[in-house]
């Protein structure tokens, strides 16, 4: 089966003080239809940059994609001219964002915002597109859908706005959905509802979902596989069960250790000391080494992603040969 999305050797650079530095380097991952891959890591590790690169939304002078292939349903879309990318964006691949409060245009009715991609990609008339938008509103469970099409984003709550965003993304029935922390800004009960909705929709449409999050609880609930990112690289990748049962990379372990446990009294909050190295001062060897409790000889060398089992791989010479 062809992956819905296959990224191979992606490299995205940003300009800092006149020089280009990679924010994502040599990133590869495959995403099958009807599969959810969680991309996990702390802020600034390159999760969003990866999604934005796939969408072709990183363009000079801010940033540039300098290497790798991005195969969407087998077709390489890396480096396509803007006009051709526009015809793919919002049609075969779609994206939803973290901030439902600001991600919708405040001066356009939500119905028109959903209808817009249908009019652009499917050539529907406004009336036809609005009719389709109404069905989409019902599918994402917005109550009294027909009446709310003509309302504006400020008349919706945060959770409802995120449902509108999802309707916008689903409008053209995309093969790949990139979800960039779609529930982070929502409160916990709404978050659970939206996650449930996303799982349903994925199953019904057979979509491949790349789910970006820093919340491991969300990962456990929604993901089939997990890729852990650190400083622009994937440091560990595997099925969700294996990662949760046997986290191999010291960074993954530190992430799990940072979750407070309810079954033990009086524990100090465990945080990872230090910070992510800045883009213009990236170590040559293991990028986590400066913060790693298991640091030893060999960590100063560049690390490769080594298989632990058939589907589980880790970028750490200590963990790989333990």
Partner 1 sequence: MLGFVLRRLLAALPTLFAVLTLVFVIVRIVPGDPALVILGDQATPEAAAAVRARLGTDQPLWRQYIAFLGAAATGDFGSSMVTNRPILAEVSAVLPHTVDLTAASMVIGIVIGIPAGIWAALHRNRAIDVAARLLSLLGLSFPVFVSGIYLLLLFALHWRWFPVISNADLDDPLDRLHKVLLPAVALGLTMAAYITRVTRGAMLASLSEDYIRTARAKGVPWRRVVWVHGLRNASIPIVTVVGLYVGILIGNSVLTEIVFNRPGLGKVIVGALNQRDYTMLQGLMVIYCFLIVVVNLITDLLYGVIDPRVKQT
Residues of this chain that interact with partner 1 (CB under 8 A) are: 55, 57, 82-83, 85-91, 94-95, 97, 99, 102-108, 116-117, 120-121, 152, 154, 165, 168, 171
Q: Which residue in 157, 156, 173, 172 sits closest to 109, CA to CA?
A: 156
To the nearest whole angstrom, how small is the minimum distance from the Cβ of residue 181 to partner 1?
A: 13
The nearer residue to partner 1, 112 or 224, going by C-beta atoms, is 112
DSSP count for the chain of H helices, then E strands = 11, 12
The nearer residue to partner 1, 171 or 314, going by C-beta atoms, is 171
To the nearest whole angstrom, how small is the minimum distance from the Cβ of residue 116 to partner 1?
A: 6
SS3 242: helix
To the nearest whole angstrom, how small is the minimum distance from the Cβ of residue 285 to partner 1?
A: 35
To the nearest whole angstrom, how small is the minimum distance from the Cβ of residue 77 to partner 1?
A: 12
To the nearest whole angstrom, how small is the minimum distance from the Cβ of residue 47 to partner 1?
A: 16
The nearer residue to partner 1, 75 or 296, going by C-beta atoms, is 75
* Spatial CB neighbours of 187, under 8 Å, sequence gap ≥ 6: 158
Q: Which contacts qualify for 112-120: CB closer than 8 Å, 24 or more apart? A: 113/164, 113/168, 114/149, 114/164, 114/167, 114/168, 114/171, 115/171, 117/90, 117/91, 117/168, 117/171, 117/172, 118/171, 118/172, 120/90
The nearer residue to partner 1, 132 or 287, going by C-beta atoms, is 132
The nearer residue to partner 1, 121 or 312, going by C-beta atoms, is 121
DSSP-assigned beta bridge partners for residue 67: 11
To the nearest whole angstrom, how small is the minimum distance from the Cβ of residue 320 to partner 1?
A: 37
The nearer residue to partner 1, 87 or 270, going by C-beta atoms, is 87
To the nearest whole angstrom, how small is the minimum distance from the Cβ of residue 41 to partner 1?
A: 21
CB 153 within 8 A of CB 106: yes
Q: Which contacts qualify for 147-156: CB closer than 8 Å, 24 or more apart? A: 148/110, 148/111, 149/109, 149/110, 149/111, 149/114, 150/109, 150/111, 151/109, 151/110, 152/106, 152/107, 152/108, 152/109, 152/110, 153/104, 153/105, 153/106, 153/110, 154/106, 156/110
The nearer residue to partner 1, 102 or 304, going by C-beta atoms, is 102
Angle between helices 110-122 and 158-170 in degrees, nearest 10: 10
To the nearest whole angstrom, how small is the minimum distance from the Cβ of residue 86 to partner 1?
A: 5
The nearer residue to partner 1, 98 or 191, going by C-beta atoms, is 98
The nearer residue to partner 1, 104 or 218, going by C-beta atoms, is 104
Beta strands in 32-79 (DSSP E): 36-40, 63-72, 75-76
The one-character DSSP state at 137 is: H
CB 191 within 8 A of CB 222: no
To the nearest whole angstrom, how small is the minimum distance from the Cβ of residue 55 to partner 1?
A: 6
């Amino acid at each position: 089966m062809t992956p819905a999305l296959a990224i191979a050797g992606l490299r995205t650079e940003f300009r800092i003080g006149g020089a280009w530095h990679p924010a994502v380097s040599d990133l590869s991952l495959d995403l099958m239809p009807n599969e959810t891959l969680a991309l996990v890591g702390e802020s600034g590790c390159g999760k969003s940059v990866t999604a934005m690169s796939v969408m072709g939304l990183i363009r000079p002078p801010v940033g540039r994609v300098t290497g790798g292939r991005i195969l969407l349903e087998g077709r390489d879309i890396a480096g396509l001219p803007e006009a051709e990318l526009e015809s793919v964006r919002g049609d075969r691949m779609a994206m939803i964002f973290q901030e439902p409060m600001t991600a919708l245009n405040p001066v356009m009715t939500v119905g028109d915002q959903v209808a817009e991609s249908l009019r652009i990609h499917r050539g529907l008339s406004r009336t036809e597109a609005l009719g389709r938008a109404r069905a989409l509103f019902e599918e994402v469970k917005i109550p009294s859908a027909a009446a709310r099409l003509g309302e504006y984003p400020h008349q919706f709550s945060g959770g409802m706005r995120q449902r509108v965003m999802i309707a916008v993304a689903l409008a053209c029935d995309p093969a790949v959905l990139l979800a960039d922390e779609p529930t982070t800004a929502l409160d916990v009960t709404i978050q659970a509802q939206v996650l449930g909705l996303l799982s349903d929709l994925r199953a019904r449409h057979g979509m491949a979902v790349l789910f970006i999050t820093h919340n491991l609880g969300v990962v456990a609930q929604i993901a089939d596989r997990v890729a852990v990112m650190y400083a622009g690289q994937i440091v560990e990748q595997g099925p969700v069960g294996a990662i949760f049962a046997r986290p191999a990379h010291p960074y993954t372990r530190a992430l799990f250790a940072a979750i407070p446990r309810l079954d033990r009294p009086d524990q100090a909050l465990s945080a990872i000391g230090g910070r992510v190295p800045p883009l213009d001062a990236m170590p040559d060897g293991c990028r986590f080494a400066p913060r790693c409790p298991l640091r030893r000889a060999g960590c100063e060398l560049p690390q490769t992603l080594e298989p632990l089992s058939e589907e589980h791989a880790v970028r750490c010479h200590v963990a790989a040969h333990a």
